[in-house]
Amino acid sequence: MPTNTVLVVGGNGIIGRNAVSHLLAAGTWNTLVTSASPLDYETPAQYVQLDLLDPEAVAQQAEQLREVTHVFYAAYIEGKTLAAQTHVNLALLRNLVVGLEQVAPNFKHLTFIQGGKAYGAHLGRYKTPALETDPRHFPPNFYYSQEDFLREHSAGKAWSWTAVRPDIVVGFAVGNPMNLANLIAVYASLCKELNVPFRFPGSLKAYEVLVNVTDANILAKAMDWVSTHDECNEEIFNVTNGDVFRWSQLWPRFAEYFGVEYAEPITFPLHEYMEDKAELWQQMVEKHGLKQHTLAELAQWPFGDFIFNVEADAFFDVNKLRRFGFHEMHLDSFTSFRNQFEHLKTEKIIP
């Protein structure tokens, strides 16, 4: 019987959902999962309802959370301003940690997600390859505030923390605003339905820069690994597939996979050109017997517009985690995307 109990926070997101799948498959954990809203998938993991905006939420579920030893933290709430984003996301984490200290006497470790924003990826160009020791950009940044809280609040306590920094996460989820695999798959499916070529929609410069992504399964394995190795306490680790690529190398292969004609890039804003495609997608759902998801649930086009117009190299150095002993970061990124496309087909999300 597993001796450790992990609470996955943010269970409906792309990271949390795939972490739950990994933990159940591994069979070495008692797995609990929570989210602000009920789970949108079935799982043998025990669901615990928590609204972490409420400082009393953990205390109200004390009995269910008493055995928690570890946390995989992947919760996130968007804010209208950077200050608001920082305030709300710090509150979520603080309410969870302070609450667990009161109700879970064997609480040992929290692994939490940072990401490219820690390097200023959302601002445009940043130093590459990005290293965990790179200096911070000018705040606010909720990653920094969460990290500072954990550093200060865990001092002298029986529990510790580790931060992991994936880049663009490739994994299965529906309704997640930053799911690039879904977006590419839906775009390619629309091209095929409309009998138009599958073109890279970003800038020509962005088509040629170096990028990397993080498979959600590798990320889950990394979160599992760092949480059970004490030498990783109070450390930050980049996590990616381990390779780098250019969109110009993958785009023709995407077209071939989906059986749609490839053509040279033309720069156009996806969010504008997809405004009138909701009805077409609904027709495709009926035609191909797909699950009833709206176009808006499957793809957030402004996210694609941002990613496909990054005109500077954007990739992380992952050798620190390798030096610590984690050796799973060796996945070909086309294979990572293809695996997700296959999953979307199997689940009848795309034709």
CATH code at position 317: 3.40.50.720
Same domain? For 17 and 132 the reply is: yes
Tell me if 284 sits within 8 A of 189, measured CB to CB: yes
Which residue type occupies 7?
A: L
Same domain? For 67 and 205 the reply is: no
CA 286 to chain centre: 30
Tell me if 15 sits within 8 A of 113, measured CB to CB: yes
Same domain? For 95 and 228 the reply is: yes
Same domain? For 273 and 160 the reply is: no
289-314 as b/e: b if 16+ CB within 10 A: ebeebebebbbbbebbbebbbbeebb
- Note the pLDDT tens digit of each residue in 104-162: 999 999 999 999 999 999 998 999 999 999 999 999 999 999 999 999 999 999 999 99
Query: Is a pLDDT exceeding 80 seen at residue 177?
Result: no
Report yes or no on 351 lying in a domain.
no
Tell me if 271 sits within 8 A of 305, measured CB to CB: yes
Same domain? For 224 and 336 the reply is: no
| Reported confidence tier of residue 36, pLDDT bands at 50, 70, 90 | confident
Query: Is pTM, for the whole model, over 0.95?
Result: yes
Same domain? For 176 and 230 the reply is: no
Q: How far apart are CA 23 and CA 3, in angstroms?
A: 13
Q: How far apart are CA 349 and CA 328, in angstroms?
A: 29
Query: Is a pLDDT exceeding 80 seen at residue 1?
Result: no
Same domain? For 75 and 191 the reply is: no
Tell me if 304 sits within 8 A of 183, measured CB to CB: yes
Same domain? For 174 and 162 the reply is: no
Same domain? For 162 and 199 the reply is: no
Report yes or no on 145 lying in a domain.
yes
Same domain? For 109 and 181 the reply is: no
Cβ atoms < 10 Å from Cβ of 114: 21
- Note the pLDDT tens digit of each residue in 88-104: 999 999 999 999 999 99
The parent domain of residue 179 ranges over: 170-212+244-346
- Six-digit token pair at 327? 């050796």
Q: How far apart are CA 199 and CA 129, in angstroms?
A: 28
Same domain? For 123 and 229 the reply is: yes
Same domain? For 149 and 296 the reply is: no
